[in-house]
């Protein structure tokens, strides 16, 4: 006897595209490789296609879902798990993921992220990197390319630099549009982000680094001399070994940290002088 399909129309305002391809679902589950002793968190479980596989392996999971109409559907589908399936009606962009950590176990975060919020949501999650062991996301292929991009790549920019400051980034595999219902107009990809237990490169002031990267890529076609003029002058860039005529996509993360640290040192000196 076949299961009766769950009827729920995907909502455009939530960016919903429900994964339904069993082969892709199995491949994602194998990439995550959940274990019973781990603490899994799924963002946007939708109709629970991936949730079902994850619960089958891990036995327990916290789900963050914004669409209130999906919550009774999910509770009914996974009622047999009792308190091991915990669903939180919340906006993941505003959710405090630290509240989910009940013991020393870090969180393993997974999700088929809506394309319209994927970038701000990743920035939000990076702020919780201290309580997260890894993250596996289904994203628009272009977003994954931006996350994994190296200096000189056309996709290299603010998202990739800050993600790579906190995490090791691995692009795993592509997912075609037909794996979803409704099918999106773009290809998707699976990415793994693994926060570093100890950062390989450390900025003196992370907020300053974020500011530098944001301002540097404000106008990609302009040089560092022009874009960073409000923060640092060309002579100081030259003094720390960076060519002010370069465009921002040519710089490594380490070089952005050099610039950030120089600005931080200048601000500290200025603050002391004014005291």
For residue 261, pLDDT beyond 60: yes
pLDDT in tens, 78-108: 999 999 999 999 999 999 999 999 889 999 9
Instruction: Decide: 110 and 53 in contact? Cβ < 8 Å.
Output: no
* Whole-number Å distance between alpha carbons of 161 and 209: 10
Residue 64, CB half-sphere, CA atoms under 13 Å: how many? Answer: 21
Confidence of residue 181 (pLDDT cuts 50, 70, 90): confident
- For domain 206-274, the CATH architecture is Orthogonal Bundle (1.10)
The pLDDT of residue 267 is 86
pLDDT at 52: 93
Q: Give, in order, the Cα–Cα distances in Å from 174 to each of 52, 133, 138, 253, 255.
A: 21, 23, 9, 26, 31
- Per-residue pLDDT, averaged over 4-10, amounts to 44
Is pLDDT above 80 for 182?
A: no
Q: What is the pTM of this model?
A: 0.88
Quick one: pLDDT at residue 209? 97
Return the pLDDT at 220: 84
Q: What is the mean pLDDT of the chain?
A: 90
Is the model's pLDDT at 58 over the cut of 60? yes
Domain range annotation of the chain: 12-195, 206-274
Q: What are phi and psi of 233, to 5 degrees?
A: -90, 165
Domains 12-195 and 206-274 share a fold: no
Res 1 pLDDT > 60: no
Write out pLDDT tens, residues 103-114. Answer: 899 999 999 888
Domain spanning 12-195: CATH 2.60.40.420 = no
Q: What is the mean pLDDT of residues 191-204?
A: 96
pLDDT score recorded for residue 274: 66
> Buried b vs exposed e over 26-36: b needs ≥16 C-beta within 10 Å?
eebbeebebee
Cβ atoms of 29 and 61 closer than 8 Å? no
Average pLDDT over residues 60-71: 93
Condensed to tens digits (0 to 9), the pLDDT of residues 106-141 reads 999 999 888 788 999 999 999 999 999 999 999 999
């Amino acid at each position: 006897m076949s299961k009766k399909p769950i009827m729920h129309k995907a909502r455009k305002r939530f960016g919903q595209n429900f994964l339904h391809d069993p082969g892709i679902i199995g491949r994602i589950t194998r990439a995550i490789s959940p274990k019973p002793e781990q603490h899994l968190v799924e963002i946007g479980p939708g109709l629970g296609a991936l949730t079902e596989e994850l619960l089958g392996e891990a036995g327990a999971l916290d789900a963050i879902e914004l669409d209130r109409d999906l919550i009774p559907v999910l509770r009914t589908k996974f009622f047999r798990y009792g308190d091991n399936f915990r669903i939180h009606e919340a906006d993941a962009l505003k959710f405090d993921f630290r509240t989910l950590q009940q013991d020393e176990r870090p969180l393993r975060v997974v999700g088929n992220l809506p394309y319209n919020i994927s970038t701000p949501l990743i920035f939000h999650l990076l702020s919780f990197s201290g309580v997260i062991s890894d993250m596996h996301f289904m994203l628009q292929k272009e977003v994954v390319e931006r996350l994994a991009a190296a200096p000189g790549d056309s996709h290299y920019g603010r998202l990739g630099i800050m993600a790579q400051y906190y995490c090791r980034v691995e692009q795993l595999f592509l997912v075609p549009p037909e794996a979803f219902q409704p099918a999106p107009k773009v290809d998707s990809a699976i990415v793994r982000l693994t926060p570093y237990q100890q950062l390989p490169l450390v900025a003196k002031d992370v907020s300053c680094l974020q500011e530098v990267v944001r301002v540097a890529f404000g106008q990609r076609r302009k040089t560092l001399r022009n874009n960073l003029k409000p923060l640092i002058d060309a002579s100081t860039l030259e003094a720390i070994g960076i060519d002010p005529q370069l465009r921002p996509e040519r710089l490594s993360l380490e070089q952005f940290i050099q610039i950030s640290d120089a600005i931080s040192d200048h601000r500290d000196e200025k603050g002391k002088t004014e005291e």
